[in-house]
Amino acid sequence: MADAGAAAVKPAWPGDKRAIVNSPANITDPLVLFMPSGKRGRFPVGTPVLDAARQLGVYVESVCGGRATCGRCQIEVQEGNFAKHKIVSSNDHISPKGAKEERYERVRGLPERRRLSCSAQILGDLVIDVPQDTVINAQTIRKDADTRVIARDAAIRMCYVEIEEPDMHKPLGDLDRLKIALMKDWGFKNLEFDFYLMPQVQGILRKGNWTATAAIHKDAESDIARVIALWPGLKNEAYGLACDIGSTTIAMHLVSLLSGRVAASSGTSNPQIRFGEDLMSRVSYVMMNPDGREGMTVAVREAISGLVDKVCAEGNVQRNDILDSVFVGNPIMHHLFLGIDPTELGGAPFALAVSGAVRIKASDIGLKLNQGARLYMLPCIAGHVGADAAAVTLSEGPHRQDEMMLIVDVGTNAEIVLGNRTRVVAASSPTGPAFEGAEISGGQRAAPGAIERVRIDPDTLEPKYRVIGSELWSDEPGFLDSVQATGVTGICGSGIIEIVAEMYLAGIISEDGVVDGSLAARSPRVTANGRTFSYVLKEGEPKITITQTDVRAIQLAKAALYAGTKLLMEKQNTEHVDRIHFAGAFGSFIDPKYAMVLGLIPDCDLDKVSAVGNAAGAGARMALLNRGYRREIEVTVSHIEKIETALEPKFQEHFVYAMALPNKVDPFPKLSAAVKLPPRKTVSEDGVAGDAAPRRRSREGHAARRSRE
């Protein structure tokens, strides 16, 4: 009784685009939501959780065939009131441990709060978390560091000195003689020591035979220099962390502070997803659950600690050798990481608790690195444009050049920066999780087996596709063998953008996004779905279909992003942009042509549209390796003008026009020169096609027509 592909559907709550079975026969059955996939459905009381997961297409591994012996099907029940989903989840809503599960726990051990989904049965509404450490084909976190060379002037300096030995005639303390040596040899004028080092100094100096290496932290020019760590003899390496805390994924780089070399990179899903897919639902969770803030803070800090273990293992580095760290994130991630209640960010005036740069000891938030390690967070631009957008701005540098540059970081909450050395403006647009597959019937996050590329023959309407984990197209020999290990499981963000754009280019949907039902006579790919029509991308199990509801979800997301961009262009008094940069892991896999066909971004030369990868992570590395970049972005952020889209009267108008593909009124001459756009046609909501007037090419023409009317 899963929701995917069901014929009789209706939203689970107002505004939800995902379908859910809700027939009279099962309306009282418990509702089960699986995270982080976001898939859900209603199931009879007594259904094993593993069976429910399989019916929904949620990957939960089980080698033993449900005998409760392999332990690979572990899940966790999330407790609390999940208002967005209208679910109150509790451990009372799952069956107690039975004999098999108790035997497994007794013999093999079961982590706290974990259950075996093959044995646990559904008794009531549940939010189920599938721990990523139990998933073989878990989400692909594609946030590697770029290869840019960053000039080094780190806030941490490693300083080797030889100290004068004690003398009966010079009763100066060991620490004071160490301080004199450091000031004499390295030119420090005002030097202090972290208190924890004072009891250790004498032992370290004697172990090093009166030689030592001090790690000295000095950030801003006016700061007092502080000795934060000390080793006997020569210590010729030190490391730092650069971490981008995204609402969906967390990316971390372990970097040598001396050479600038990236020793290791790793990423993971943000565990806060189980509290809410988008940012506002997480704020809502905090508001409705007294321990909600603490729970999300603990979750993200634990995930970050796990990433530290991973990068240290990969880079063969000890935690004690990590002396500095730079973190970035959107305002809500920023606040939750620091342990700050984000409730004020949930409504106007979207007040930040702290907007400037944050400088603390890593131990202040329980991050176990070197005992003296420091932590720096870039400043936030505004209530919904955070330190991650500041890091992207630092990385791409629109404020350093003359061209009008548009930077788009596509996520559940898209952040947009537009400007040049004269002026920079920024905004955020609530695109929602549609681009990540959460509101799409066959959607999923990027993982092996997910469709990421799509092409449709405009004559036959037959599709072909590529999936993550295979280099072959679906119509090439050997494709089935190449995906045998994973199967074809769904469609991820880049594939969703391409399938909708290809459906438009092939004439399957009109510029208004309506599936043309008359094409059902031409191709069995176009099928009736109640009063609307759908397009079948893949037959078999699982059957992957793009429904009218799916297309609408993508239109809503892309219209919000484009409308935000248009507002910024108006603020800059410009009709065009010279260059477009897609930031973020998702942006790295968006084909610029299809993004423009969809109307996700404004018209621009396609060769000047590029993906810049994890630019937020790159900005964090820049701030880690060069304290001058910290000063630069602090000054730059103070001059960036934030545009609050929710308060702009023209946002709705731009949004309505942007619902069309690529846009109802804005011209796309550069795109038209590179891609043959289909002739305009209208299709009624029931799929009946008709003629349409020529595409309106300018806002001026639209205004003239309105005046004539």
Mean pLDDT over 48-52 rounds to 91
Mean pLDDT over 4-32 rounds to 44
Q: In the chain, pLDDT over 70 holds for what percent of residues?
A: 87
Burial (CB count <10 Å: 0-12, 13-18, 19+), residue 459: exposed
Question: Is the pLDDT score of 508 beyond 70?
Answer: yes
Mean pLDDT over 208-219 rounds to 94
**DSSP string of 587-650, one letter each residue:** HTT--HHHHHHHTSS----GGGEEE--SHHHHHHHHHHHBHHHHHHHHHHHHHPEE--GGG-TT
Instruction: Write out the H or E segment, with its range, that includes residue 394.
Output: helix 387-396
Stretch among 232-236, 283-287, 442-446, 455-459 having the lowest mean pLDDT: 442-446
What pLDDT does 13 receive?
27
DSSP state of 117: T
Would you mind telling me the total number of residues written for the chain in this entry? 709
Stretch among 18-27, 240-249, 592-601 having the lowest mean pLDDT: 18-27
- Using alpha carbons only, give the angle 465, 470, 473 rounded to the nearest 5 degrees: 30
More confident residue, 599 or 686: 599
What pLDDT does 526 receive?
96
118-168: pLDDT as tens digits: 999 999 999 999 886 554 444 444 455 566 778 888 999 999 999 999 888
- The residue written with tokens 């009131």 in the block is 81
**Beta carbons of 614 and 143 less than 8 angstroms apart:** yes
What pLDDT does 149 receive?
74
Output Rg (C-alpha) for the chain, integer angstroms: 28
Mean pLDDT over 88-94 rounds to 93
Indicate the pTM of the whole model: 0.78
More confident residue, 222 or 516: 516
- Token output for 380: 């936030």
What pLDDT does 272 receive?
87
Mean pLDDT over 604-623 rounds to 92
DSSP state of 695: P
Q: Say how far apart CA 245 and CA 538 lie, in whole Å.
A: 35
**Beta carbons of 231 and 213 less than 8 angstroms apart:** yes
Non-local (6+) Cβ contacts of 67 within 8 A are 100, 118
Scored b (16 or more CB within 10 A) or e, 317-343 reads beeebbbbbbbbbbbbbbbbbbebbbb
Q: Say how far apart CA 82 and CA 38 lie, in whole Å.
A: 13
Q: Per-residue confidence at 500, pLDDT binned at 50, 70, 90?
A: very high
- Token output for 686: 């029931």
Mean pLDDT over 206-235 rounds to 90
Mean pLDDT comparison of 186-195, 317-326, 406-415, highest-scoring range: 317-326
537-561: pLDDT as tens digits: 999 888 999 999 999 999 999 999 9
Mean pLDDT over 635-654 rounds to 91
What pLDDT does 433 receive?
67
Instruction: Write out the H or E segment, with its range, that includes residue 414.
Output: strand 414-419
Q: Rounded to whole angstroms, what are the CA distances from 241 to 135, 142, 314, 621?
A: 26, 18, 14, 8
What pLDDT does 345 receive?
87
240-265: pLDDT as tens digits: 999 999 888 899 999 999 888 999 99
- In order of their start, the domains of the chain are 31-134 (3.10.20.30), 156-232 (3.10.20.880), 241-377 (3.30.420.480), 397-433+554-674 (3.30.420), 443-522+536-543 (no CATH)
What pLDDT does 68 receive?
82
Question: Is the pLDDT score of 617 beyond 60?
Answer: yes
- Token output for 510: 């009109």
Q: Per-residue confidence at 459, pLDDT binned at 50, 70, 90?
A: very high
471-497: pLDDT as tens digits: 999 999 999 999 998 899 999 888 999
Q: Per-residue confidence at 73, pLDDT binned at 50, 70, 90?
A: confident
Pairing of strands 31-35, 126-129: parallel
Positive or negative, the CA dihedral 181, 184, 188, 191 is positive
Instruction: Write out the H or E segment, with its range, that includes residue 463.
Output: strand 463-467
What pLDDT does 307 receive?
96
Question: Is the pLDDT score of 62 beyond 70?
Answer: no
Q: Rounded to whole angstroms, what are the CA distances from 48 to 195, 359, 435?
A: 56, 49, 31
**Beta carbons of 42 and 9 less than 8 angstroms apart:** no
Q: Say how far apart CA 263 and CA 317 lie, in whole Å.
A: 9
Rounded to a whole number of angstroms, the distance between the first and last alpha carbons of the chain is 52
What pLDDT does 640 receive?
96
Instruction: Write out the H or E segment, with its range, that includes residue 32.
Output: strand 31-35
Question: Is the pLDDT score of 698 beyond 80?
Answer: no
**Beta carbons of 265 and 252 less than 8 angstroms apart:** yes
Q: Say how far apart CA 5 and CA 544 lie, in whole Å.
A: 8
What pLDDT does 4 receive?
35
Residue among 495, 471, 470 at smallest CA distance from 485: 470
**DSSP string of 665-691, one letter each residue:** S---HHHHHHS-PPPPEEE-TTS-EEE
More confident residue, 135 or 522: 522
What pLDDT does 22 receive?
36
Q: In the chain, pLDDT over 90 holds for what percent of residues?
A: 61
Instruction: Calculate the average pLDDT of the chain.
Output: 86
Non-local (6+) Cβ contacts of 110 within 8 A are 71, 74, 101, 104, 116
Question: Is the pLDDT score of 25 beyond 70?
Answer: no
What pLDDT does 708 receive?
34
Alpha-helical regions (H) of 90-155: 99-107
561-577: pLDDT as tens digits: 999 999 999 999 999 99
The phi, psi pair for 610, rounded to 5°, reads -145, 155
Stretch among 37-46, 236-245, 350-359, 363-372 having the lowest mean pLDDT: 37-46
